[in-house]
Amino acid sequence: MDELEKLKRLSAEIGCDPLLVQAAGGNTSIKDGSVMWIKASGTWLSEAMTRDIFVPVALDCLLDGIKRNDADAEACVAYVRSDLNALSLRPSIETTVHALMPQKIVMHVHCVNTIAYAIRIDVETILSQKLSDFRWAFVPYAHPGRTLANAITARIKRDTDVLILGNHGLVVAADTVDQVEALLRAVSSTLSIPARHVNPVNRDALQRHADDTEYRLAKDEVTHAVATDPYILRIAGEGVFYPDHAVFLGRGISQDMTLRPPILAVAGLGLLIRQDAKSAVEPMARCIADVFLRIMPDNPIQPIDHENVHRLLNWEAEIYRQNLKL
């Protein structure tokens, strides 16, 4: 089995693990000479074995564009090898991250244990102890594209193979698929945090709130913690802590049905999902629960600032993702 096939299998496997990847989040890539094959924007890693989700990018041209701070390095569409891109897919919004890592295989995941650290104010202090056995770098939150590329360039060394992206996620890189999987498992295990207990949901009581409305009950028991855990309900309504939260769920969790939010929190009872919500919405709601069940109320955390949230929501590359049938 060649490395691309192995990468597809691993991508599909991690794409089905909600503690690592949610919906269309996360991306993987493989470098083959002058071409880097990277997951297409808006596609799901979980479908890597059943559909074509990889896009070919001219690697040398992209690296040159990053070095020159070329505007085309923002969404990277200009660097796609159209002669090899039969489906006219466009590359992941994190293509620059993959290009800057010199290793052959790169994986970026929204590991909930990593995010639980990455949104903390004291993240570098904590991780300097936990990740002392790894060749890692912390990159403070930066807008995807050129801004993130510049932030990574300022932080990485030649042998860096683990990145913790502030308010974002985890990147691991290696020269084989087996090595990158082992590194992913090792870092994820090292950063593992026990989740707080989730109380059972009174589905009958919650269903009465959904009756005769355009809402249904969230399917996963864990997801309801967004509404049943007082801390999560409060903090998730106050801001956005990582990019996909903003892109798929808006600026905060709403308790007001008249606003027709994609997810509706019924305090103390559970979470409702609007019937016409995109398929990415519920996994993203569960991600909120998974992340904040691993954070204690006294942990010092910081959301993405309003300017960067606005920039995300109005970025052409994210609008493209939002308009896909995810």
Q: What is the pLDDT of residues 293-322, one digit of tens each?
A: 999 999 999 999 999 998 988 877 556 555
Compute the Cα dihedral for 216, 222, 225, 226 and give only its sign: negative
Domains detected in the chain: 3-190 (3.40.225.10), 203-293+296-323 (no CATH)
- DSSP tally for the chain: helices H, then strands E: 14, 10
**pLDDT tens digits for 56-102?**
999 999 999 999 999 999 999 999 999 999 999 999 999 999 999 99
β-bridge partners, 305 = none
Residue 326 has pLDDT above 50, yes or no: no
Amino acid present at 86: A
Instruction: Report helix, strand or coil for 109.
Output: strand
* pTM (predicted TM-score): 0.94
Q: Are 99 and 36 in contact (CB under 8 A)?
A: yes
Per the listing, tokens 């707080």 go with 196
